[in-house]
Chains A and B, each alone.
Chain A
Amino acid sequence: MSELDIGILALQGDVAENFMSTMMAMNELGIDGSVSQVKTPDQISAVDGLIVPGGESTMMGQLSMVNGAMNALKEKIESGMPVLGICAGMILLAKNSKDRVVGSTKQPLLDVLDVEIERNSFGRQKDSFEAEVSLDAMDIPSFQGVFIRAPSVVKTGSGVETLGKFNEKIIAVKQGNILATSFHPELTRDVSVHKQFVKMVKESKS
């Protein structure tokens, strides 16, 4: 059995990219771990940590309601399993979410991260951008942020730590076992963010 098993929620989105980044992060840290794609409650219950990847949050929320993955996820995260939410994943973890143009929607959310999200906060695809961000609180002074129709955090609850901002908007947060970014670390070659997450999972096991 390997030291760590990290799952990537594989309902939709850029699953393979997170798979690769997590493998590389484990490699660089010298951790003997495995990465698996998870869709069902049984698969979710078997992993030590989980990444909710980029994709479409509305779709992922609805699909995870269908097969019971939503409840399994919520329970497991509330009981302390480390989770990394990226872009759509950040939205899915949040308590509240509003679209910049459409406003409130009835989209299903996990309601485990005490923040309010503004979806498509920087605009539509034409305004998607790359920029260097600093995540000093994570010991990552510089990271190439890839923001694709990215959300931002507009309100944080008391237990939420802001890890990074871009242009006055909050783009990375941590609340206990929950880490979330509005940009896509898995689309770059830099696996620093994934390494931090792997470390979180490792610490939670020891």
Chain B
Amino acid sequence: MIPLSGDLTKAKGVKSESVDSIDVTKGTSTLKRGFAHMLKNGVVMDVTTVEQAQIAEEAGAVSVMVLDKLPSDVRKAGGVARTASIRIIQDIMDSVTIPVMAKCRIGHVYEAKVLAEANVDMVDESEVLTPADENHHIWKWDFTTPFVNGARSLAEALRRIEEGAAMIRTKGEPGTGNVAEAVLHIKKVNDELRTIKSIYDSGDKQGLVSIAREFKVSFDLVEETAKIGRLPVVNFAAGGIATPADAAYLMSLGCDGIFVGSGIFKAEDAMERARATVLATTFWEDADAVKEAQKMINEKQSILGLDVKNLELRMQDRGGSA
């Protein structure tokens, strides 16, 4: 079974109909969160073309994420980054059997509606694109399609879950090929989970009330999360993952799976690297298997990467205070 903390059963996205006089319900939290559970221990790969999506599928990706530009190109191009072309998304959906996700801008309800109508399997309300509303994220309970959101802390993660996110990923710092920020974010979330769990275990309700006020989320969601000691939805690592060893490291920190953005298709050995990243994610507990995966790639062909300290654009800050 899956935890349903913070579930909103009467959400608009929950649709009921009757098939042969049997009640059929769509868009429930079990279905949305359950979808994310099926991706666990897998790698979701950023792609921009049908060809890349097919390479990803063949390499063993559990899903592909469609963008107009890979995050490192978004950085270079500047300007406004928007959702990908619907035609490309549809072409990709017609050519791979694995689930297809696509990104929309933070707060951009209509980009999300367009993606949901195009029938993508999950929408990523993403800081990689230029935010449309800095103060409000999308109210995701209105959708039958599930959403994934980025978070740098437990407070951000719970705020997104309260808005209806069915899956969380670390923000990291996208398009940098630098895993440091993703590591920081997952460790912070884990530390904070341990803290609220210990407050729960000590029976200190007032302590949990203080946390709820600090996090700007409901007491119930804090209490239920504290009780189970983990996020009530699947939590993936994302942002800056470039090598098989990066993926294995993040799995070892307790992530449920991996998103790889520019790390694969901006490298010169994309096919091998995609495969190697999947192998390292699956067999992360076996250091020898990770070594074998790491051997499949050539460091000289990795994305060059950026120092995250001196970036002009910190994508992770987008939508963070809301």
Contacts and interface: CB of A to CB of B under 8 A. Distances in A.
A40 to B, nearest CB: 9
Contact of A13 (B38, B120, B145, B278): B38
B42 A56 contact: yes
Contacts of A139: none
A63 B58 CA distance: 11
B83 interface: no
Given A125-B35, A125-B145, A131 B19 contact: yes
A55 B24 CA distance: 22
Contacts of B243: none
A66 B23 CA distance: 42
A188 to B, nearest CB: 6
A162 B315 CA distance: 52
Report whether over half of chain B's contact residues are helix, strand or loop; otherwise say mixed: loop
Given A15-B41, A146-B30, A167-B20, A58 B1 contact: no
Contacts, number: 140
Contacts of B20: 167
Given A55-B40, A125-B145, A126-B116, A188 B1 contact: yes
A130 interface: yes
Contact of A127 (B26, B40, B42, B282): B26
Question: Looking at A12, A21, A188, which has the most chain B CB atoms within 10 Å of its CB?
Answer: A12
A130 B19 CA distance: 12
Contacts of B39: 55-56
Interface string A128-160: 111110000000000000101100000000000
A187 interface: yes
Given A55-B42, A125-B145, A129-B26, 20 more contacts: A11-B282, A12-B62, A13-B40, A20-B1, A55-B38, A58-B97, A59-B62, A101-B93, A107-B97, A125-B35, A125-B121, A125-B146, A126-B116, A126-B119, A127-B26, A132-B22, A149-B99, A187-B34, A188-B30, A189-B1
Interface of B: 1-2, 19-20, 22-28, 30-31, 34-35, 37-42, 57-58, 60-63, 93-99, 116, 119-122, 144-146, 278-279, 282-283
8 contacts: A14-B37, A15-B41, A39-B282, A56-B39, A59-B61, A107-B97, A123-B119, A128-B31
Interface of A: 10-17, 20-21, 39, 54-56, 58-59, 62-63, 66-67, 87-88, 99, 101-102, 105, 107, 119-120, 123-132, 146, 148-149, 166-167, 184, 186-189
